[in-house]
Amino acid sequence: MRASVLVEQGVIEVQERPVPTPAADEVLVRVASVGVCGSDVHYYRHGRIGDFVVDRPLVLGHEVSGQVVAVGRDVPEARVGERVAIDPQRPCGHCRACRSGRMNLCPRMEFYATPPVDGTFCDYVTAPADMAYEVPDTMSDDAAALLEPFSVGLWAAHKAQVSPGDRVLVAGAGPIGAMVARAVRARGAADVVVTDFVDSRRERITSFGATRALHPVDDADEIAALGADAFVDCSGATPAVVSGVRALRPGGAAVLVGMGADEMQLPVSLIASREITLTGVFRYVDTWPRGIELFRAGAVHLDDMVTARYPLEQVQDALEADSDPLSMKAVVVVNPTDGAAPAS
């Protein structure tokens, strides 16, 4: 099979590799579409994210859809032919985190495109059968792949305890900010305020779930007076986190999604006196079924997030797509299925 491989920092090669064989509890999936994530770009440009270092050739990509073409001996043969979206997590299933329903915190987690585990910029991948979710015929390959970043938004909305009628402040109008905006709207938020310095991002974010968009500096007074029920940071910028926390009502919740500085100064006395809940997000739990059902209900659309599509041979171009300020989401089209075409 073809595999697009990060052979060294900034260098991608298409190589021939053996087609993997599914284990007893796995399915073999012919890859259809793969979304490009910021983590893929970071590994490509910098060769590491924190303690995760690319020290040997690595296949990137973890936002993936495809079609089941073979199954392991413990998986029903009837699954062959299913169009699926894959949750890229492979937890151990036995540790305290897994047994308490927090598999995303499993210390022995294996995750596509996180060294040393190869990802999905290739023709075929294996996945645990229970992590490959059948998608409706009306969902395109691209939208099925984007259930992964949408899952980040759903998990952030869950952690923020967003309720119908809430006002939610989101910092950052990039792809994850847009996914968070859509997720909190699907959860019933009535007012979704997104901040960003870039004019073009603010202009388009109202098409992706925001009710209004503000400039972090020019509109600072309006932001400070929001009294938001929840704040979700997708920027990683310390000033955005501080201003977002200050914009919360007493008893509000702040959720950190963006990866910024390892340490930052926060208004601790305000957090304590207002009893603000401050937490982070690390991946997700049980979000694919929710995302699929929201799609079935017509509560969320994902195809319009895609601003560029590339073949497998042009993964390097896809990883550079974010240099365009108008780019929202690049997708690598590997082996399109006969499912729904991307929405126009």
DSSP letter for each residue of 145-166: HTHHHHHHHHHHHHHTT--TT-
**Angle between helices 288-296 and 147-159 in degrees, nearest 10:** 100
Q: Is 267 within 8 Å of 245 (Cβ atoms)?
A: yes
pLDDT truncated to tens, each residue of the chain (344 aa)? 999 999 999 999 999 999 999 999 999 999 999 999 999 999 999 999 988 999 999 999 999 999 999 999 999 999 999 999 999 999 999 999 999 999 999 999 999 999 999 999 999 999 999 999 999 999 999 999 999 999 999 999 999 999 999 999 999 999 999 999 999 999 999 999 999 999 999 999 999 999 999 999 999 999 999 999 999 999 999 999 999 999 999 999 999 999 888 899 999 999 999 999 999 999 999 999 999 999 999 999 999 999 999 999 999 999 999 888 888 999 999 999 966 666 54
Residue with tokens 């210390």: 107
Contacts of residue 154, defined as CB under 8 A and 6 or more positions apart, other chains included, come to: 183, 186, 284, 287, 290, 291
Return the DSSP state at 274. Answer: T
**Angle between helices 175-186 and 147-159 in degrees, nearest 10:** 60
What distance in Å separates the CA atoms of residue 122 and residue 13, rounded to the nearest whole number? 11
Query: 330 by DSSP, 3-state: which?
Result: strand
Query: What six digits make up the tokens of 221?
Result: 């007074």
- Pairing state of beta strands 110-111 and 11-16? unpaired
Q: What is the pTM of this model?
A: 0.95
Q: Is 150 within 8 Å of 183 (Cβ atoms)?
A: yes
What distance in Å separates the CA atoms of residue 38 and residue 257, rounded to the nearest whole number? 12
Q: What is the CATH number of domain 153-280?
A: 3.40.50.720
Please identify, in words, the CATH class of the domain defined by 2-146+302-333.
alpha beta
Q: What is the pLDDT of residue 260?
A: 83
Q: What is the pLDDT of residue 315?
A: 98
Q: Which helix (H) or strand (E) holds 132?
A: strand 132-134
Residue-range domain boundaries for the chain: 2-146+302-333, 153-280
| CA–CA distances in Å: residue 162 to residues 139, 158, 187, 284, 289 | 26, 7, 7, 16, 19
Q: What is the pLDDT of residue 344?
A: 46
Q: Which helix (H) or strand (E) holds 199?
A: helix 199-205
Contacts of residue 296, defined as CB under 8 A and 6 or more positions apart, other chains included, come to: 136
Burial call 236-253: b when 16+ CB within 10 Å, e when fewer: bbeebbbbbbbbbeeebb
- Pairing state of beta strands 83-86 and 11-16? unpaired
